[in-house]
Amino acid sequence: MFNLKLKNYTPKFVLLIYLIWLFYDWQTPKRGSRPLKWFRELFLWKVLADYFNFKLVKTAELNNERNYIFGVHPHGVLATGSALTFGTDATNFKTLFPEIDVRIATLPVNFWFPLRREFLEAHGIISTDFESLNYFLNKSKSGKAVAIVTGGISEMLNSKPGEHTLTLANRKGFIKLALKCG
């Protein structure tokens, strides 16, 4: 009898614990997220990068005494290249730029979904709202970088195989942020 009652309450208890955690942790995507080194270095990400033939080619040194905003294009359907390059170490970003702490930014709505939110945070993904980006880039005046897929959902919806359409109209917030953060 007791065992039967316990089975009925276990899912509710787990949900309650998770909701308490969400309440406590709600601001994390706006405060630099919570990247997990072991998760970002999983072998799976290298396999995916090899499968899609992603490469990161270093063409210039980045001064670790400055902060950076990377405008990324194209978005594509899932922005897989951006996620693997800046949200994992699949393309050896940390090896090429060891002093740069990089994050990729996504829409705030992506953090509303349970478990997906934790998945994004484990990658070190942050929210694209101004408050979040400003906090991350100003937390330390040096060695920070954030990657923003500038075309966003509009570019995603217009993606077609073999075509590259850059969407920048009315997308100047990242330029204002760059000017503000130096």
Please list, in sequence order, all residues whose beta carbon lies within 8 angstroms of the beta carbon of residue 110, skipping any fewer than 6 positions away: 116, 117, 120, 125
Question: Over the stretch 123-178, which tens digit does the pLDDT of each residue have?
Answer: 999 999 989 999 999 887 789 999 988 867 776 777 777 777 777 667 677 777 77
Global pTM value: 0.82
Contact 151, 167 (CB under 8 A): yes
Displacement of CA 21 from its chain's centroid (Å): 21
Position 77 scores a pLDDT of 64
Question: Over the stretch 5-63, which tens digit does the pLDDT of each residue have?
Answer: 656 777 888 889 999 998 998 999 899 889 999 999 999 999 999 999 989 999 999 99
Please state the domain extents for the chain. 2-181
How far is it, in rounded angstroms, from Cα 25 to Cα 119? 14
Please list, in sequence order, all residues whose beta carbon lies within 8 angstroms of the beta carbon of residue 125, skipping any fewer than 6 positions away: 29, 33, 83, 87, 103, 104, 105, 106, 110
